Chain A
Amino acid sequence: MSDFEPVVVVFACDYCAYTAADVAGRMNLSYPTGVRILRVPCTGKVEPQYIMQALQKGADGVMVAGCLVGDCHFKNGNLRAAVRVKRVQGLLDEIGIGGERVAMVHVSAGQGAQFAEAATEFSRKIGEMGPNPIKQGAKAAA
């Protein structure tokens, strides 16, 4: 399991988290190469099915990254996202994939270091959990 490099899909809001990821780049910080970012206008746009689809397509973890609480550019989209993430976590627990494979984080546009740290930490955690069980299913089927 030591050479397992998890693939993490990040849904990052345009106003804060996506910008923070850019800042992380400009600060020459690093995080694992398995972290792959998709831009959304607001985390309030992230639907539960996006998260489920990412897991279904083989992501080992999904991180939804929005603005700091109280700082959402669209007032409260990040709070809606947080509620949805909770809901998806419940579902994942039920079907045995594990709710911890999904996380909500909050960073401001300037917090490049915090973004890199969150992405690294989440990858590490997913690394410990091992690959998404769906993968084994897919491999077995093949």
Chain B
Amino acid sequence: MNQENNQRTSNTVLVLGGGIAGIKASYDLAEAGRQVYLLEKKPALGGFLPLLDRQFPTNDCNICYLSPDADKAGGARTVQTMPLTKLVALEGQAGNFTARVLTSPRYINTDRCNACGACLAACPQGAISFTPGLDTNSPTCLRYPQATPQAFAINMAKCDRCGECIKVCAPEAIDLDQQEVEQSLEVGSVVLASGAEVWDPAPMEEWYGHKRFPDVLTSLEFEQLMSAAGPTGGAFQRPSDGRRPKRIGWIQCAGSRTTKDGGNSYCSSICCMISMKEAIWAMEHFEQDLEATVFFMDMRPMGKDYELYYQRAKNDLGINFVRCRPHTVDRHEQTGDLRMTYVDDEGSLGEVELDLVVLATGFCAASDSQDQAAALGIDLSPYRFVNSDEFSPVSTSRPGVYACGMALGPQDIPGSLTQASAAGCLASADLAAPRALRREEDLPKERDLSGEEPRIGVFFVDWGKVVQEVVDSKAVEQAAANMAGVVHVETLELSYGQSGLAALEKAITDSRINRVVVAGYSPRTHGRIFAEAIRKAGLNRAYLEMANIREQDAFVHQGDSQAATAKAITLVRTAVAGVRQAKPTPSLTLPFNPDALVVGGGVAGMSAALGLAGQGGKVYLVERSRQLGGLANELARTLNGRPVAPELAELVEQVKGNPNIEILTDTLVVDHKGQVGGFITGVQSGPGMFYRQINHGVTILATGARRYEPTEYLYGQNSRVMTQLEMEKLLANGQGGDKLDTVVMIQCVGSRNDDNPTCGRICCRSAVKNALWIKEQKPDAQVFVLYRDMRMPFTSEDVYRKAREEGVLFVRYSPEQPPRVEQSGDTLEVIFRDHILGRDLSVEPSALVLSTPQIAADEDTEELCEIFRLQQGPGGFLLEDHPKVKPIDTPAPGVFAAGSVLAPASLAEARTQGLAAAGRALTLLSQMNLVLDTPVAKVNRDRCAACLVCVRTCPYGIPYINADGYSEIDPAQCLGCGVCAAECPAQAIQLPGYEDERMLSRTEALLEGVL
């Protein structure tokens, strides 16, 4: 970020790793007008995600949500995917790197391969593999229709060059003589997203019997067993004897939180959630007949609202949770069942019979992480993950190189995506100022078709061998030529490369074609490409319809040529009937205001402002109090003992010194209107409540949370009772930390209870931090931490271990038997039960410290939600667009959120989310104009009776009754689902492309000759 402007000439970022973090970073950057090289070691993109059947906490298949984004950015064609490629060396400096990369041979030319599968069937050695998610033999279904590239690869280690595959490959895509290729790429910055690996439980085989017993699986193996597309085809059977397991046990922390058996001492952070997801899945399917038990040390559902997921699993779904230390798994010789022994919470030995054991194996650094770090010239942590710190959580030791996802350590999908957007923001700052994307003025003017009869061109594109064999193309072409309105029929021989599209464009011009049918591909995969092609030829993108001859005809009716040919004619006829009635979709061009409004001047808000400054227009940073810094002003040091004040001061200085940021302290947001690209927000400043309006294109909300004021445990009544923040202040000011003889800390005060069912997320870390600090100031002080679950993710587990080594006593309490605090005269007494000793203990502490959470700033957040038309989730925090795949976006286009307004956040999280919000905002700010051309619902005001049905049915609350008394739908906000059009009793609303008459024409054409 410190580069001089004149050095920032590159517009290209190198992204290493094609898992979801790398994909997210790439597509964010592409949408922001950047060029990206996306390198992936494997033959195809995807990372872990395609291996997962479903994902917590929504338990859906979320790729369906991710892929439209990928699709959209893919249309920009600015991401160059380079599979089977790794980085060899990185030379130069931020803004001006040269990356040397090495591509291994695939032996299949991806430009030609049409993924027909003939080679897979022909290969006698099984050397041919499909891209993840597409392989019918793979543990996944096609969860990712845009899987890139859609092509096969040959494993030369298995191939004996028999040539069978070459004989059957119609597009002549196979080249067994391909060599590896080394090349140099000029890039301005690098985003490392190379992920992690699943820890191999082999060192624990003696204890847990993985590999020794077929019914002991890892989480990922269990995931495959659950998958409908998995090895058992969705039948839920245990591997040893095919019986459906009725007693399943999950063993947590297999290889994590341990210094033994080659395990990792850190916490893998997400395994608790993964096991719960798997248990919930199993329970939901076999509730009547299943006993699901999770054997754990501490349950650590760490993400936003994950605690609620845990409560649901425990209380509503009847999953058993047994707190213990698992010891060994044995197999009964006769029955084949498994027996697990463990040491329970009270120190006694337990034993349980199970049909299936799932090891919640954690994640470890990728085996090649050291090679990659050497090539990049960056430092790694002792665990071989990328070394970063709380204040620069996505930066590496080398300027211009950023990291995200599991390369930084184990984490969940929302965390990875957030870091990806943050890394993308910083990577973008090292580049030249962005070029505006897809400007309408670059395209020829749209032809005016008024008064023209439909002149339809039908183009048969890329039928490939399978289609040719099944469908009689001559018959279809002849039939098409005779359809009403068809003036031109042409077969484009070439695969959809630029030349094929050029032929299409030429035919449109030469034959004065005004409507186009493309017969061959699915509109899902190729609609956008052909829409852009006809637009280039001067036609509105809406004058296109596609007949899906490949996937929905030839491929599925291979045994019946005659019927498939007839159906192909029907599909072409339907497309012709539909396109005949096509009307142009006006593209709505709005000037895009490049300025941004950031509400909230804490760490998240300041990070967002700095992320944007210099990359778009001006940034208005609005803060309600007099000073910047937010809750971080009250923090003295981080968990690792680093002072916060100097770092915070530097952040404030950077913000104040940035010419692109206008700071408005003592300022409140009072009103807000407009849409993305053209927001107008009213603010009031200073004691005089001076009102002004700010015009801006995007909004970032980072208004933070507030501290919970405890009413429990004599807080406010006894001077020795304080919160962790107050203790921290006491320790920082040297106000008698050395006089603390005995300190008791109580966790989960004001959280994980009926009033506030969510977890405070960071209070455990605050307690450990302060406990260690007390020990530092007075080593012989006795410190008790009374806890329910110690939630210390990733390497904070090491600090937890250190605290135990330093003599801090951690004593668990159950919510049914919470600690009691009594005061009589001058004495304060804490009574709590020690589970191991099995009796009550009494301590008279010199300080009683309550670990209280940050809670939603209820009224403020409520007001904010009202002003910005957003919603609050559980606990009153701001509801994001999607908890898994859009954790930083809000449902309102152009409005993003960061920091503890979303959920209690650590410093590193606030920093990351602020940068991520800026990164997300950049995807919009790069546009000169906002061009909207997707079909949106249109109201016929003459028919509208203002009955409010549309207002009530719209899933996004977009229609409203305007001053003239009829329904109005903002085309800038409508997402085009058509629900309002379907429900409107007066049929006053139509969705272009799906108008009632057009649907009828299609139906008629589809059923022609049936009656």
* Contact status A73-B558, CB under 8 Å: no
> Are A25 and B552 CB-contacts (below 8 A) given A50-B1003, A54-B1003?
yes
Counting CB contacts under 8 A, is A100 at the interface?
A: no
Stretch of B163-171, B302-310, B519-527, B695-703 at the chain-chain interface: B519-527
> Are A57 and B1003 CB-contacts (below 8 A) given A26-B115, A28-B555, A44-B982?
yes
* Contact status B1003-A38, CB under 8 Å: yes
Q: Which residues of A contact B551 (CB under 8 A)?
A: 21-26
A80 to B552, CA, bound (A): 26
* Contact status A71-B1011, CB under 8 Å: no
- The contact of B982 among A45, A53, A71, A75, by CB within 8 Å, is A45
- The contact of B1007 among A7, A74, A84, by CB within 8 Å, is A7
Counting CB contacts under 8 A, is B149 at the interface?
A: no
Counting CB contacts under 8 A, is A86 at the interface?
A: no
Least CB distance from B442 to A in Å reads: 28
Within A9-55, the residues touching B (CB, 8 Å) are 9, 14-16, 18-19, 21-31, 33, 36-42, 44-47, 49-50, 53-54
* Contact status B1011-A138, CB under 8 Å: yes
Bitwise interface map of A from 98 to 111 toward B, beta carbon under 8 Å scored 1, else 0: 00000000001111
* Contact status A25-B978, CB under 8 Å: no
Q: Which residues of B contact A89 (CB under 8 A)?
A: none
Counting CB contacts under 8 A, is B353 at the interface?
A: no
Within B938-975, the residues touching A (CB, 8 Å) are 953, 955-956, 975
A14 to B229, CA, bound (A): 21
Bitwise interface map of A from 105 to 142 toward B, beta carbon under 8 Å scored 1, else 0: 00011111110100000000000000000110010000
> Are A24 and B556 CB-contacts (below 8 A) given A33-B567, A42-B977, A45-B982?
yes
- The contact of B981 among A45, A71, A74, by CB within 8 Å, is A45
Counting CB contacts under 8 A, is A67 at the interface?
A: yes
In this complex, how many residues of chain B approach chain A with their Cβ under 8 Å: the count is 67
The residue in chain B whose Cβ has the minimal distance to the Cβ of A80 is B979
* Contact status A54-B524, CB under 8 Å: no
* Contact status A76-B955, CB under 8 Å: yes
* Contact status A80-B983, CB under 8 Å: yes
Q: Which residues of A contact B63 (CB under 8 A)?
A: 109-110
Counting CB contacts under 8 A, is A68 at the interface?
A: yes
A26 to B58, CA, bound (A): 28
Counting CB contacts under 8 A, is B764 at the interface?
A: no
* Contact status A111-B1011, CB under 8 Å: no
Most buried by A among B133, B994, B1011: B1011
The residue in chain B whose Cβ has the minimal distance to the Cβ of A84 is B982
Q: Which residues of A contact B1003 (CB under 8 A)?
A: 9, 38, 50, 53-54, 57
Q: Which residues of B contact A29 (CB under 8 A)?
A: 556
A25 to B1003, CA, bound (A): 22
Least CB distance from A8 to B in Å reads: 11
* Contact status B978-A49, CB under 8 Å: no
Bitwise interface map of B from 968 to 998 toward A, beta carbon under 8 Å scored 1, else 0: 0000000111110111000000010010100
A112 to B555, CA, bound (A): 12
A44 to B551, CA, bound (A): 24
The residue in chain A whose Cβ has the minimal distance to the Cβ of B135 is A27
Least CB distance from B954 to A in Å reads: 9
- How many A residues touch the partner, as a band? 35 or more
* Contact status B999-A74, CB under 8 Å: no
The residue in chain B whose Cβ has the minimal distance to the Cβ of A31 is B556
Counting CB contacts under 8 A, is B1006 at the interface?
A: yes
- The contact of A15 among B64, B523, B525, by CB within 8 Å, is B64
A41 to B1000, CA, bound (A): 16
* Contact status A77-B955, CB under 8 Å: yes
A67 to B64, CA, bound (A): 10
Least CB distance from A36 to B in Å reads: 5
Least CB distance from A42 to B in Å reads: 4
- The contact of B136 among A27, A71, A80, by CB within 8 Å, is A27
Counting CB contacts under 8 A, is B172 at the interface?
A: no
Counting CB contacts under 8 A, is A59 at the interface?
A: yes
Q: Which residues of A contact B548 (CB under 8 A)?
A: 22, 37
Q: Which residues of B contact A59 (CB under 8 A)?
A: 1007, 1010
* Contact status A16-B977, CB under 8 Å: no
Q: Which residues of A contact B492 (CB under 8 A)?
A: none
* Contact status B550-A25, CB under 8 Å: yes
- The contact of A68 among B60, B143, B525, B559, by CB within 8 Å, is B60
* Contact status B522-A74, CB under 8 Å: no
How many A-B residue contacts, CB cutoff 8 Å?
179
Counting CB contacts under 8 A, is B563 at the interface?
A: yes
Q: Which residues of A contact B559 (CB under 8 A)?
A: 30
> Are A39 and B523 CB-contacts (below 8 A) given A75-B955, A77-B977?
yes
* Contact status A44-B977, CB under 8 Å: yes
* Contact status B64-A71, CB under 8 Å: yes
A30 to B559, CA, bound (A): 9
Least CB distance from B113 to A in Å reads: 13
* Contact status B982-A19, CB under 8 Å: no
Q: Which residues of A contact B1000 (CB under 8 A)?
A: 50, 53
Q: Which residues of B contact A46 (CB under 8 A)?
A: 982
Within B316-353, the residues touching A (CB, 8 Å) are none
A80 to B563, CA, bound (A): 34
Counting CB contacts under 8 A, is B100 at the interface?
A: no
* Contact status B977-A45, CB under 8 Å: yes
Counting CB contacts under 8 A, is B691 at the interface?
A: no
* Contact status A49-B996, CB under 8 Å: yes
A30 to B563, CA, bound (A): 13
* Contact status A58-B978, CB under 8 Å: no
> Are A33 and B991 CB-contacts (below 8 A) given A38-B1003, A109-B63?
no
* Contact status A57-B1011, CB under 8 Å: yes
Least CB distance from A17 to B in Å reads: 11
* Contact status B991-A23, CB under 8 Å: no
Least CB distance from A61 to B in Å reads: 12
* Contact status A57-B1007, CB under 8 Å: yes
> Are A41 and B991 CB-contacts (below 8 A) given A77-B979, A108-B64, A110-B143?
yes
Counting CB contacts under 8 A, is A70 at the interface?
A: yes
* Contact status A27-B142, CB under 8 Å: yes
Q: Which residues of A contact B289 (CB under 8 A)?
A: none
Counting CB contacts under 8 A, is B61 at the interface?
A: yes
Most buried by A among B63, B556, B571: B556
Least CB distance from A83 to B in Å reads: 11
Least CB distance from B932 to A in Å reads: 16
The residue in chain B whose Cβ has the minimal distance to the Cβ of A40 is B994
Q: Which residues of A contact B141 (CB under 8 A)?
A: 23, 110-113
Q: Which residues of B contact A41 (CB under 8 A)?
A: 935, 976-978, 991, 994
* Contact status A80-B982, CB under 8 Å: yes
Counting CB contacts under 8 A, is B493 at the interface?
A: no
Bitwise interface map of B from 918 to 942 toward A, beta carbon under 8 Å scored 1, else 0: 0000000000000000010000000
> Are A9 and B1006 CB-contacts (below 8 A) given A41-B976, A76-B955?
yes
The residue in chain A whose Cβ has the minimal distance to the Cβ of B978 is A45
> Are A33 and B560 CB-contacts (below 8 A) given A47-B982, A57-B1003, A110-B61?
yes
The residue in chain A whose Cβ has the minimal distance to the Cβ of B136 is A27
The residue in chain A whose Cβ has the minimal distance to the Cβ of B570 is A36
Q: Which residues of A contact B556 (CB under 8 A)?
A: 24-25, 28-31, 116
Counting CB contacts under 8 A, is B65 at the interface?
A: yes
Most buried by B among A18, A25, A53, A73: A25
- The contact of A22 among B228, B525, B975, B981, by CB within 8 Å, is B525
Counting CB contacts under 8 A, is B117 at the interface?
A: yes
Q: Which residues of B contact A57 (CB under 8 A)?
A: 1003-1004, 1007, 1010-1011
List 29 A–B pairs whose Cβ atoms lie within 8 Å, in order of A's numbering: A7-B1010, A14-B524, A19-B64, A19-B145, A19-B524, A23-B141, A26-B551, A26-B555, A33-B563, A36-B567, A36-B1007, A41-B935, A53-B1000, A59-B1007, A70-B60, A71-B64, A73-B64, A73-B68, A77-B979, A80-B979, A108-B61, A109-B67, A109-B142, A110-B142, A110-B144, A110-B229, A113-B141, A113-B229, A135-B1011
Q: Which 4 A-B pairs have the closest CB atoms?
A: A25-B551, A45-B978, A25-B555, A58-B1010
Q: A15-B68, A80-B982, A112-B142 are in contact. List 4 more A-B contacts (CB 8 A).
A: A22-B145, A30-B558, A37-B552, A70-B58
